Amino acid sequence: MLERFLRRLPDVQWVRPEQIHLTLHFFGATPAGDVDTIDKAMSCVAARFTPLTACLEQLGGFPDLTRPNVIWVGVRETTGELFSLQNVVREELSRLGFPVERRPFRAHVTLGRVKKRITDLGTIIGKPGFKFPTTAHTLDHFNLYQSHCLPDGARYEILRTYALSKT
């Protein structure tokens, strides 16, 4: 079903499957010297959380479905721990002086970026028979990535991995 959806939208630059991720915090340009500070803080954050289970569901678009620039799929986690994790990450980074997003956290993964205007994504995903396949996934770690902006899309390099390891 998802493959048929993707073929209906040829003017979207799709994220490669191995590059798909959920963003807890976006840093922007960050000096290399700050990586150790971030690393220490995120190691402490990860030690406060246990693995959690989440599902991918409900396609959406930013800024909305009528004129999307980005196509995404929502992440649902019913215990509230994902939002707690993101909040602790934000608070810790703010305490260290890093700028943080003030808009509410919307748990999602980006699937693609629209190259040519799609007039109404809602019409496409609202067609009878279209349903995003939901599958539960265990989230047992998070990564610190470095983004590389390339002509064919961003590539993400893992700099550090943090296991959710509260015992």
State the Cα–Cα distance between residues 64 and 25, nearest whole angstrom. 21
Half-sphere CA count of 136, side-chain side, radius 13 A: 6
pLDDT at 164: 97
Element (H, E) at 84: helix 81-95
Note the CATH number of domain 2-163.
Answer: 3.90.1140.10
Please say if the pLDDT value at position 53 is more than 70. yes
Integer-rounded Cα Rg, in Å, for the chain is 17
Is residue 27 within 8 Å of 98, Cβ to Cβ?
A: yes
State the Cα–Cα distance between residues 125 and 147, nearest whole angstrom. 30
pLDDT in tens, 73-90: 999 999 999 999 999 999
Query: Which positions are annotated as active-site residues?
Result: 21, 108
pTM for this prediction: 0.88
pLDDT in tens, 88-122: 999 999 999 999 998 999 999 999 898 887 776 77
pLDDT at 167: 75
**Closest to 75 (Cα-Cα) out of 122, 125, 134, 124:** 134
State the Cα–Cα distance between residues 15 and 29, nearest whole angstrom. 21
- Residue found under tokens 């678009």: 61
Q: Where are the domains of the chain?
A: 2-163
**Closest to 89 (Cα-Cα) out of 34, 81, 128:** 81
Of the ranges 69-78, 124-133, 150-159, which is most confident? 69-78
pLDDT in tens, 33-47: 999 999 999 999 999
pLDDT at 128: 57
133 to each of 2, 14, 21, 34, how far by Cα in Å?
8, 18, 17, 39
State the Cα–Cα distance between residues 145 and 62, nearest whole angstrom. 22
Please say if the pLDDT value at position 5 is more than 80. no
